[in-house]
Structure 1
Amino acid sequence: MALLEVDDLHVSFGTPDGVVRAVRGVSFSVDRGRTLGIVGESGSGKSVATQTIVGLTRGARVSGRATLDGEDLLGADVAALQRIRGAKIGMIFQDPLSSLHPYYKVGWQIVEMIRAHERGTSKAAARKRAIELLDAVRIPSPKIRIDNYPHEFSGGMRQRVMIAMAMALRPSVLVADEPTTALDVTVQAQVLDVMRDVQRDFGTAIVLITHDLGVVADMADDVVVMYGGQVMERAAKRDLFYRHHHPYTEGLLRSLPTAGNAGMLVPIAGTPPSLLSPPPGCPFAPRCTYAFDRCSERPPPAEIPGGGAHTSACWLPVERADRQRAVAS
């Protein structure tokens, strides 16, 4: 059994316009010391899926199964989730400036988080640990910076503070939701280095949510590709980059700037589906250059014959040479 397992997760929200089916049958797992990358366009359900398993989507209709080291997450009550968040699952959110309270010093916020879970820890002991955490994530002069406010840190430094806070109780799983968004390339690399150090030192499992395939190539062991609230493809990183099967994965990779395309991007035509009324069959069919009649009639099975752990929700044959024949038939 993997450390974190999510199976057939469905999440929907009632709105005045109808029911938004944000996550539809998502499954994934990650084990200790490994990194799972979850990629896809904005609105594909990446963040909703991970926030749901820690109880951060109040008011949503949720079904499926999610366990952490065998402990049920979706059926946990509020008190149990408060115990799990921070202590067993650490969270790093996209915008650290909005995640950190602007009126309190960063050290105070880390200390309060530690003492909320470890009530027997004194303020002095918690402060000492906070300084050690800031030093571990490469904050210069941590004994001084611990008394600074969030606005006194740069974007990259604030993200390091969030990593320090997330790792304060040495959780088993670290969920990082777009941790490098809006950071320049140099700072992005530094933040990823800090996350790697944390994983190496504590054996932490990381769930990395991003739309940046470069970050996935740098960090992930396994990758889940999401689109329209569903998993399109799941594979080991190398298989996804070099032996991918799903046309959506192919489109994401072709849209990356490379030396071979002389800087020209190849966008995916069309727009993502409405989650109020998802199309029948494959959600990517309206944008897929390989689509044929069966694609819009019924959902494809999420499997690749002989692919083992590599799965793809697509009707196309495994061999690329057979694709045009399948489309033409």
Structure 2
Amino acid sequence: MSLLEVRDLRVAFNTPDGVLEAVRGLSFDVDRGSTLAIVGESGSGKSVATQTITGLTTGARVTGSARFDGTELIGASPEVLRGIRGARIGMIFQDPLSSLHPYYKVGWQIVEMIRAHDRGVSTDAARRRAAELLAVVGIPHAQSRIDDYPHQFSGGMRQRVMIAMAMALDPVLLIADEPTTALDVTVQAQVLSVMRRLQEEFGTAIILITHDLGVVAEMSDEVVVMYAGAAMERAPRRTLFYANHHPYTEGLLGSLPAQGGVRARLTPILGVPPSLIDLPQGCPFAPRCPYAFDRCRSETPPLRRVFDDPDHDSACWLPTVLSEREALRSARAQGDLERIQAGAAEPLSRPTTEGASMTADEVSP
């Protein structure tokens, strides 16, 4: 049994404009000591999903299941959730400056968190523990800096304080929401190194929420790609980078700068994500997809096994055979999708971004 098992998680909010479906049928597992990365553009539902698991989306309509070490978190009482948050599930929030209280010293905040879960720990003992944690995450002169306020730390140091607070009670699961946002590459590498060291020392599982695929390549074991509130692709890290299936994943990787001059220019994903209040019919990525055909606009593809790999799922109607999918990828790169298909039917009126057009018969699996 996995440490965390999420099944068909759905999160919706009532708004003046209608129901906003922030998370739509998300499922994933996190094993002990492993790292799961959840990636996608802003607004794809990454943060909402993990905040819902820990009971932090007040007012949302939530269905589905999130079983943590045998305990069901969806619908659990506030007392149960308070006993798990911090003690067994640590959280690093996206903006440490707004997550840390500006009126209180960082040491006081760590001490309060420790004693909130264990009143048997004295204030002096908790303070010593706080100083030890700050030293572990690489803050120099931790014994004196424990009495500094959050604004006296740099962005990278504040993020380290958040990591120290999240790890104070040795949680078995750490949820890190954009832990390297707005940090320069040197500080980013230091923060990731701290997280890796803590994971190796304590065997902590990590859910890493990010849009930085470089961080994903360095840290993750498995990756879930989200778009418009749903999982588009789920695969081990190496598989996702070298044998991905979904066009959205392909687009994310194509938007990355290449090293060594392999790719002459970036290939952005055209268009914008859809409104979560008024989703398009069929595949949510179809309006932006260069491979889209008729079926994509009428039927929503399920998350299904692809490339005959039990660990690789994709929500896409493109062929599930690796050679056929690679042939389409190659044809698109050459701007010649039509030529590679035999017996082309009437093409769609909307051309692809490469100037070619496709039909349902051409690419149906």
Q: TM-score, normalised by structure 1?
A: 0.98
**In structure 2, distance between residues paired with 1:317 and 1:298:** 15
**In structure 2, distance between residues paired with 1:168 and 1:263:** 46
**In structure 1, distance between residues paired with 2:25 and 2:17:** 22
Query: Could you say what the CA RMSD is over the residues aligned between the two structures, in angstroms?
Result: 1.2
**Alpha-carbon shift at residue 70 of structure 1 (Å):** 1.1
**Alpha-carbon shift at residue 262 of structure 1 (Å):** 5.5
Q: Is the 8 A contact 1:38 1:209 kept in 2?
A: yes
Are 1:153 and 2:150 counterparts? Answer: no
Match of 1:241, as an amino acid? F
Are 1:55 and 2:60 counterparts? Answer: no
**In structure 2, distance between residues paired with 1:98 and 1:169:** 22
**In structure 2, distance between residues paired with 1:128 and 1:181:** 30
**Alpha-carbon shift at residue 90 of structure 1 (Å):** 0.5
**Alpha-carbon shift at residue 79 of structure 1 (Å):** 1.0
**In structure 2, distance between residues paired with 1:113 and 1:301:** 42
**Alpha-carbon shift at residue 253 of structure 1 (Å):** 0.2
Are 1:317 and 2:319 counterparts? Answer: yes
**In structure 1, distance between residues paired with 2:200 and 2:176:** 16
Are 1:285 and 2:282 counterparts? Answer: no
* Residue number in structure 1 paired with 2:104: 104
Match of 2:315, as an amino acid? A
Deviations 1:255-304 (A, max 9, x none): 00113356622110111011001111110001000000001111112113
Are 1:43 and 2:43 counterparts? Answer: yes
**Alpha-carbon shift at residue 188 of structure 1 (Å):** 0.2
Counterpart mapping for 1:165-184 below 5 A: 165-184=165-184
**Alpha-carbon shift at residue 18 of structure 1 (Å):** 0.4
Aligned length: 329
Q: Is the 8 A contact 1:302 1:313 kept in 2?
A: yes
* Residue number in structure 1 paired with 2:140: 140
The unaligned stretches of length 5 or more in structure 2 are 329-336, 345-357
SS at match of 1:22: strand
**In structure 1, distance between residues paired with 2:181 and 2:269:** 22
Counterpart mapping for 1:1-329 below 5 A: 1-259=1-259, 260=261, 264-305=265-306, 306-318=308-320, 319-321=324-326, 323=328, 324=337, 325=341, 327-328=358-359, 329=361
Greater C-alpha Rg? 2
**In structure 1, distance between residues paired with 2:304 and 2:24:** 17
Match of 2:131, as an amino acid? I
**In structure 2, distance between residues paired with 1:312 and 1:24:** 15
Q: Could you say if the C-alpha distance between residues 270 and 116 of structure 1 is closer, same or farther in structure 2, counting changes exceeding 3 Å? A: same
Q: Detail structure 1 runs of 4+ shifted over 6 Å in the superposition.
A: none
Q: TM-score, normalised by structure 2?
A: 0.88
Deviations 1:195-231 (A, max 9, x none): 0011001000000000000000010000000000000
* Residue number in structure 1 paired with 2:350: none
SS at match of 1:309: strand
**In structure 2, distance between residues paired with 1:90 and 1:304:** 32
Match of 2:72, as an amino acid? D
**In structure 1, distance between residues paired with 2:325 and 2:274:** 26
Give percent identity, aligned residues only: 70
Q: Is the 8 A contact 1:257 1:263 kept in 2?
A: no
Tell me which of the two structures has the higher relative contact order, counting C-alpha pairs closer than 8 angstroms and 6 or more residues apart: 1
Larger displacement relative to structure 2 (75-84 or 257-266): 257-266
**Alpha-carbon shift at residue 36 of structure 1 (Å):** 0.3
The unaligned stretches of length 5 or more in structure 1 are none
Q: Is the 8 A contact 1:91 1:175 kept in 2?
A: yes
Q: Is the 8 A contact 1:4 1:30 kept in 2?
A: yes
**In structure 1, distance between residues paired with 2:327 and 2:158:** 50
**In structure 1, distance between residues paired with 2:297 and 2:52:** 29
**Alpha-carbon shift at residue 39 of structure 1 (Å):** 0.2
SS at match of 1:301: coil
SS at match of 1:310: strand
Q: Is the 8 A contact 1:4 1:66 kept in 2?
A: yes
Match of 2:135, as an amino acid? D
Deviations 1:78-123 (A, max 9, x none): 1111111100110001110100001110000000000000011100
**In structure 1, distance between residues paired with 2:326 and 2:22:** 35
**In structure 2, distance between residues paired with 1:191 and 1:62:** 33
Match of 1:277, as an amino acid? D
**In structure 2, distance between residues paired with 1:262 and 1:282:** 29
